[in-house]
Amino acid sequence: MSAALTAPHAALPDPSPDRSAQDDAIERTSRLLAVVRALIAFGRHLTQALLVRDPSESPVRLIRHFGVATVREIVARVARGLQLALALEARLALRLSKPVAVRAEAPARQRAPGAPRARRDLDADEPPPDPLPSVEEMARMIRHRGVEDVIVDICRDFGIAANHPLWSRIYDRLGDCASSAVRLVRVIVNRRHAAWTYAPRADDETVEAEFWVPALRLGTGPP
């Protein structure tokens, strides 16, 4: 018998070596999309509850979660969160609709040195702009940001904390990005600290009247 027949067979190349990686990427995107859609549903529910002055929504609880003193400010933040969530939903849905292609990593391009750009403080709790950017404008603004990091911004605008029903799902999805998980916790701590500014008024009988400033006619984004 010839040596060629008795020699061990060489391992055949896998025709789809990156199939597992592709499947993992699709599954991860699907799970992120499901979380974003759950956030959108919650944001719409919260907006409606605030606009009709749902008696189950305690001003003290809302102040503690949002760190601001009136329903008008909270509705504006929730509206911004909804715009962000809708833009992120469209981005993730588009990613799932396209065939996953494995591309070789391109060599890093050398950029000419330029003036240093101001670093954006992602933890800065800035009030929403008036008027709010459209969903399309939001999509352009977040195009180069990580999905998990945008989810943290949405959670901040929705006042989501560790006792929220969606917390475990959100935190699990951020597990692949430790920096975003840490930032989410930091955002919650900062919000609670800001809420102490209004804490002395929490037991005041006038807090109800001062908190429920009319919020009608506020732009709340797409329904």
Cα separation, 30 vs 36, whole angstroms: 10
Kindly give, in sequence order, each residue whose CB lies less than 8 Å from that of residue 183, ignoring residues fewer than 6 positions away.
Answer: 122, 123, 149, 152
pLDDT tens string, the chain, 223 residues long: the values are: 445 444 444 555 555 545 687 888 888 899 999 999 999 999 999 988 888 877 777 777 777 778 777 788 888 999 999 999 999 999 999 998 875 544 443 444 444 544 444 445 555 667 788 788 899 999 999 999 999 999 999 999 998 888 889 988 998 888 777 788 888 888 887 777 766 665 545 455 555 656 665 544 344 444 4
End-to-end alpha carbon distance in the chain: 77
DSSP category for residue 181? H
Alpha helix segments (H runs only) across the chain: 3-6, 19-51, 59-66, 71-97, 135-141, 147-157, 167-173, 178-195, 207-211
Cα separation, 84 vs 87, whole angstroms: 5
- From the centroid of its chain, how far is CA 127? 17
Domain positions in the chain: 19-100+131-211
